[in-house]
Each structure stands twice: as structure tokens, then as C-alpha cells.
Amino acid sequence: GAKRRARTMYAIVAVLSICCVLLLLCYLRRSKPKRPALHAPKARQSGNNAAAPPYAHEDDVKGASIKLLHYIKEKKFLEAGPVVRRLQSTLAQTSSSLSSAAAEALAQLLPPHSPQNVIQQHVTAADALDSIMGGDEDFDWRLIGKSRRDGSSTYMRRSGRLIHAKTEMAVAVPMLHALAVLRESRLYRTWFPDCVHSTVLVEVGPTEYLFHLENHHKLPLLTLYEDIILHIFAVDCSHSHGGILACGASARQDAWPQKDFPPTPKARYAYRVHPIALQFFCMPLDNGGCSVTLQIEIDDMGAPEWLLQFLLPSVFGRIFSAMNVAAQAITTSPHASEHAQAIADDPHFYGDWLPRKIAACKAYRQKSQPCAADGMVAIVEKREAPAVPLPEEANTVRCVDVRRVFARSLACCLPRDQLIKKTS
């Protein structure tokens, strides 16, 4: 009776699970690795490509040269980009004396912070912040999941052949600890879901890395193997947006000739993931916690809407919950936490540079009037993160059972409003 019906239902779910796995594999096999770059929307690119006014006096050029070096040292690429553009305009359009001064100023920018790279990092950071801080009506964001357990909200939009998704969540940990978990690339193996190997390939600087992740996803009857090679850099937005931004994208071998990339996986169910963009934005909250936003941009392989509405919140929820637990362990179990040891081993970054930036972020939040340079206070208040969960809720890890994932894929037969309610 009841046992027989249960066995029958389990068999149906197993068959559907296999079908879903095969469907996902078909999508993966259809994907052709592109040559991804740091992506910027066309509307934003047109504005950034507008000619910048040249400097009129040599003293202005000298002052710009000093400011530019300071901006790059402090990772203020939002401010550095316009200065580089004005110096380039001065070099191309004005008298020989001003051109020489501009050329000398630009010559100070050595790889990896060449003028072209600084402008690209400026465009990437500006686009990321526009999307993260912008309202739903500005970017057609659709809410596809809202968790009552941790307060996270997941949004998605499709544009052209791309899928854009982001999740916002407040975590009950200090901002420094959350950023330490996100920054220490070699320690992703200790907390990132399904990650079995993580290593830094190139350390460009304290806030810029090229690193390699290897993930094993165990599914019914098989295991999917994937790896990712990411180039990621940090941007100080403390004085303009009250937070710290990290921008990443899939790296290309020809952009890093000095370092041989790990070979592409050759196994039957192995593949290399090429995210077009991956960004984290973190800002402090008044109650001692912080708000973290994860945003990704990937190729649209034609996955059905119902599948994305379930998988994206589930995947993002696992990442945030695991990050939260790792960050809390820095305080609750400092002797067992590798992140606590990493903080102790780098007193210059975690004891000086990062605390200064966090203090500037807090000062920005306390300002009652918008800053004349950016006017983003109203937007920050509009996108205020939900209340920080209680500590016992924050310690809860949201693990997704694969059988439950595929069993709930039966929800495709439900009406749309019921589907959204179920997946939240």
C-alpha cells in the first residue's frame, strides 16, 4: 500500500532526476567557450567613451599626476579613470608643453596598471555599481526568490544572450571578517560549496589575484567536475558608495603569458566555466553586521525560466550560508579558523588598509546629505539590506539535497504564482 506508492513516487523522481541531469549536460555541451572580457553595457560604454576635457595648465597636469598615483595606490579606480581620460585628451589635443607633461604623467602607470587597464577597471566598476545599486525599474530586475530563513533576496534579468543575477543578504558578522573570507582565495576549499581545490596562480597585489577553483558536484549516478580561472580585483568605493567592491571575470591565457594555466578538464563530465562577470559588494550596517551583494553575468544557454527561478536562489543561498559560517568562525573558533590565521599573518592589510576603508564606509553612511560627487545616499537607503538574522539563524547552513532539488523540479507543472511561492 503506502510503501508501494512511496517506491513508485521515488522511481518517478529518480527518472525525472536523470532527465534533468541529461538536460543540464546538453546545455553544457552546447556552450562554446567565449573569450570573455570585463563586460560593460553598451549604454554605459557610450558615456565613458565620450571625450574628456583636456587640462588647461601645467600645474593642473602635475596635480592630476599626483592624485592619479594616490588613487591607484588606494584602489580608487572610480576616481582614477576620469583622470586618465583627461590626461589622454591633454596629450592628444593641446600644446607641446602640456602634451609632454601629460605623457610624463601617463608614463608613471606601469603594468598591470597601464592607462588602458585603469580605464577598463573604471568602466567595469562603474557598470557593476550601477547594476548593484540601481533600482528595479532601472535595470528590469525581477525578484525570483526571497528567503525567510536568512532574509536574502535574489533577482534576475535576461538581456540579449546573457543572464544577470544578484542576491542581497545581511549577515551578522563584522565587515572585515566577511571580506577576509571573500579575499582569501586559497582558502575557498575550506568553505565554498563543493570546492575541493583552490589556489592562487598570480598575486598581482594585496587586492588583485588570478586564482583557480575546482568543484565536484555529486549528483545521482554521476559527479560533475568543473573548474574556474578567475581574475578579480578590489575597488575602494568607500567615499562614493559606502562600500568595497570586488570585480572578477574569467581569465584568458593570452592575457597572462607569464603563467601557464591548468589544463582544461578532459573527463566525460568535466568542463571549464567562463563567467563573464562576477562581483561582490560589501558595506557596513548600523548594527555591527554588513550587507553583501553577489552579482553574476553568464551566457544564456536557454535554460527554462522555472529552473532558473529555483536553482539560482538555492545556489546563492548555499554560498552565502557557507560564507556566513566561515566568517563567524573567525570570532567563535579563532584557533581552528584558517581565516583567523590569515588575518594575523597580514597585519598591514587587515590591521591598516582595510580598517581605514571600513571606517570611511561607516562615515559615508552617517552623512545626512548626499555627497556632491556621487549623490548616491538616496539609492543606498532605497536598497537598504534586510535586518540581520539572529545569531542562531546565521549559524544555520542551508544545504540543498540533490534529490529534493530534482523532486521540486516537478513544480514546473504548477501555476507561476505558486511556483514563486514554493521556491522562496
Backbone dihedral angles phi then psi of residue 144, each to the nearest 5 degrees: -115, -5
On whether the CB atoms of residues 106 and 92 are closer than 8 A, the answer is no
Position 273 pLDDT exceeds 80: yes
Distance between CA atoms of 24 and 8, rounded to whole angstroms? 24
Instruction: Bin 37: left if φ > 0, else alpha if -120 < ψ < 50, else beta.
Output: beta
Backbone dihedral angles phi then psi of residue 51, each to the nearest 5 degrees: -65, 130
Binning pLDDT at 50, 70 and 90, where does residue 139 land?
A: confident
| C-alpha grid cell, residue 127 | 557598470
Binning pLDDT at 50, 70 and 90, where does residue 7 land?
A: low
Tally of helices (H runs) and strands (E runs) in the chain: 16, 10
Position 408 pLDDT exceeds 50: no
Higher pLDDT, 202 or 33: 202
Domain 134-423 sits in CATH at: 3.30.530.20
Q: What percent of the chain shows pLDDT beyond 70?
A: 74
Domain limits, CATH 3.30.530.20, in the chain: 134-423
At position 235, the amino acid (one-letter code) is V
Mean pLDDT confidence for 166-173: 94
Q: What is the DSSP letter of 155?
A: E
What's the whole-number average pLDDT of the chain? 80
pTM of the model: 0.76
On whether the CB atoms of residues 252 and 207 are closer than 8 A, the answer is no
Position 6 pLDDT exceeds 80: no
On whether the CB atoms of residues 388 and 287 are closer than 8 A, the answer is yes
* Helix residue ranges, H only, 49-76: 58-73
Strands (E), 264-388: 270-272, 277-284, 290-299
On whether the CB atoms of residues 80 and 118 are closer than 8 A, the answer is yes
Output the pLDDT for position 228. 95
| pLDDT tens-place string over residues 93-133 | 767 888 999 999 999 998 889 999 999 999 999 999 999 98
DSSP string for residues in 226-249: EEEEEEEEEEEETTTTSEEEEEEE
- Least confident range of 250-264, 278-292, 316-330, 370-384: 370-384
Highest mean pLDDT: which range of 145-149, 190-194, 399-403? 190-194
| pLDDT tens-place string over residues 18-62 | 555 555 555 544 544 443 333 334 334 434 555 789 998 889 999
| C-alpha grid cell, residue 2 | 503506502
Instruction: Kindly give, in sequence order, each residue whose CB lies less than 8 Å from that of residue 181, ignoring residues fewer than 6 positions away.
Output: 187, 191, 323, 326, 327, 330, 339
Residue 407 Cα to chain centre, angstroms: 30
